Structure 1
């Protein structure tokens, strides 16, 4: 019923012409509604002209208030407009300050291979130009690869180009340097490369970093006083050989532990040590060689008794495995095989293949009545394999030891470089001669 009433009223209104859809066109109706919406919104949002006028008046009142409250505001705005440094920012940017570094290894302690760290006492000498406008400026140096709490002692003074102290009350100086001496004592981390263990050469590095960004500070090498190491105070001389050569390089690292990562200058100084392999020659290589060689003696037992052969071979195999585990505890759990690992694993495979053959020949003789001459040929084959892989291991060991000869040559060049810095020829000649005598005396212990 309500629908019929609504339809009748609609039809009557259409007939009489009083319905709005019949009297007002669709376009004009939409336009009127749109204008009505705009007028309604204008109550809450004034027009553009009104808004601009009110904004200008508010801005003027704000400017008057700020100028009355802060009288230097207008003067500052005028100075900013007329300051040429703001128009060209490159005019007031200062170049980064160079800090020359020299590192002296006073004492090197034990190099712990299992934990990949070493103990050292180091003196870091930093030098930079003194700026009276920034007298308190400091590069804020620290050693990045230090482990735990380290002890530091820092002292600084003003010197001239001859490292003489500055006395400003006596005369004027053309160039003034800030000389900072930092003594660092502690344990440092170093990633060890153990591919050629036990004939490996390791690099012990210090990563010296400044907390200043690269735009403010750059760490460079001291060209007049190179870094050096005190070989006489090396505490691990029974296990390692310390070279006199020092390698330095400058690089850039990224500091990520900040809101905005910054680039920092890093100075890396490296001294090299070589492991003395004599202990491993006599206590590891020789024992594994004898165990593997004894595995060939099992062929002296008749092939009709494979149980006796297997008893000898399996005993040698278990002994090699236990010996292998005892040696592996000297090294960190690296994901690659060292030179000693390769030798021990090949020896284990060799003994295992012999054990497999002893079981096979016993089965063939009992069930197939095969000739015993085959066992003789297999012994010859295993003997040739034994000799071949030992020759390959000797060549690999010799190739690893070749790096030590290269390091000795670098030591000789570095000694000549240090001798050129002495004041007299006699001092330099004595320094080179002392190095040659030390090199000849340590040559045997270095390679054997």
Structure 2
């Protein structure tokens, strides 16, 4: 008990919580918010009136009358035991007028390395290998289609691993869209091989029944197989497709990282409101530094030894930081 009549009691809890409102559209670059909402008992359940839950020190508040404590939330590095996630920050929220509820939001970011190594990279290897098919002459349609079909079969065999990695949600995730795009590109390659082989099938020395079907019904004039024009057209298309795929890969990754930065900026703006505090898990942003001397003076005023030991332990942790 302190000389001013205030008693500080600290309890430690170990909880197993579930959260059903996860948004996995940006998987594996997603950021999740895990809320914990606390509510005090009302007047009818207490003898001394309503219990008001006070929050940590926000960016715009400094007094206890505003429902604020002297020190904000802290994050212990050894408390992070999440396999695919890392704690990015903590956010405390209360109403502008102190009320009986208080909410703590744990913001976690997924580490995308595991999903990229086991899903994205194998898909990228198969997609890159599919471009080696253009080294086969245009006249050897069977060899081209055979190699393209091999790439498709490799993706289908890999689909079991992909399904285990992707979360079972009704909408499509970022990684799921990438896998679907690889399928579409491989399908486009097969159609392109067949189309170019058909367009270069004009020859007077070949019997009509040995030629491919006329899918354009004589509306398009086919090129002679000895012409060099269509080979150059295919080369331009292949180079353009390669440049476009590289650009889309880079732009897509930058877009996913931009979504993360946009979410951080949004939380920083929200932290400007009274009653909201934001603590960065890595730098301790949002907490007020407290000197060791002031804490030791408070310890000397404590009458219970167990409480004094607890406060000294917390003092050493903050001093090390």
TM-score (normalizing by structure 2): 0.63
Q: CA deviation at 1:195?
A: 2.7
> Residue in 2 aligned with 1:249?
93
> Residue in 2 aligned with 1:207?
37
Aligned mates of 2:27, 2:235 — CA distance in 1:
37
What whole-Å deviation, never above 9, does each CA across 1:171-228 have from its counterpart, x for those lacking one?
A: xx87465857473432332522223222222222212234648995543325134333
Q: CA deviation at 1:294?
A: 1.0
> Residue in 2 aligned with 1:156?
none
Of the three residues 124, 144, 153, the one matched with 1:289 is: 124
> Residue in 2 aligned with 1:317?
152
Aligned mates of 1:174, 1:282 — CA distance in 2:
59
1:219 aligns with 2:53: yes
TM-score (normalizing by structure 1): 0.47
Q: Compared with structure 1, are the counterparts of its residues 265 and 430 closer, same or farther at alpha carbon in structure 2 (3 Å cutoff)?
A: closer
Aligned mates of 1:416, 1:216 — CA distance in 2:
32
Bigger-Rg structure (1/2): 1
Of the three residues 8, 13, 35, the one matched with 1:183 is: 13
Is the contact between residue 133 and residue 147 of structure 2 (CA under 8 Å) also seen in structure 1?
yes
Q: Compared with structure 1, are the counterparts of its residues 424 and 433 closer, same or farther at alpha carbon in structure 2 (3 Å cutoff)?
A: closer
> Residue in 2 aligned with 1:420?
289
Give the length in aligned residue pairs: 252
Aligned mates of 2:139, 2:43 — CA distance in 1:
80
Aligned mates of 1:416, 1:378 — CA distance in 2:
52
- State the SS of the aligned residue for 1:329: helix
What whole-Å deviation, never above 9, does each CA across 1:223-265 have from its counterpart, x for those lacking one?
A: 13433333213323x533234x4211136xxxxxxxxxxxx95
1:332 aligns with 2:170: no
* Over 4 Å off, 4+ runs: 173-180, 213-218, 403-410, 425-435
Matches within 5 A, 1:283-432: 283-366=118-201, 367=211, 368-370=222-224, 371=227, 372-373=230-231, 374-400=233-259, 402=261, 411=280, 415=284, 417-418=286-287, 420-424=289-293
Q: CA deviation at 1:302?
A: 1.6
Is the contact between residue 317 and residue 351 of structure 1 (CA under 8 Å) also seen in structure 2?
yes
Is the contact between residue 74 and residue 284 of structure 2 (CA under 8 Å) also seen in structure 1?
no
1:196 aligns with 2:26: yes
Q: CA deviation at 1:346?
A: 1.8
Q: Compared with structure 1, are the counterparts of its residues 307 and 425 closer, same or farther at alpha carbon in structure 2 (3 Å cutoff)?
A: farther
CA RMSD of the aligned region, Å? 4.1
Q: Compared with structure 1, are the counterparts of its residues 187 and 378 closer, same or farther at alpha carbon in structure 2 (3 Å cutoff)?
A: same
Matches within 5 A, 1:112-191: 160=1, 162=2, 175=5, 179=9, 181=11, 183-191=13-21
Q: CA deviation at 1:337?
A: 3.0
Is the contact between residue 240 and residue 273 of structure 1 (CA under 8 Å) also seen in structure 2?
yes
Is the contact between residue 123 and residue 182 of structure 2 (CA under 8 Å) also seen in structure 1?
yes
What whole-Å deviation, never above 9, does each CA across 1:343-400 have from its counterpart, x for those lacking one?
A: 2222221111111111112222234344442332332332232223223223224424
Q: Which runs of 5+ in 1 are unaligned?
A: 1-159, 163-172, 252-263, 436-448
1:229 aligns with 2:79: no
Is the contact between residue 71 and residue 288 of structure 2 (CA under 8 Å) also seen in structure 1?
no
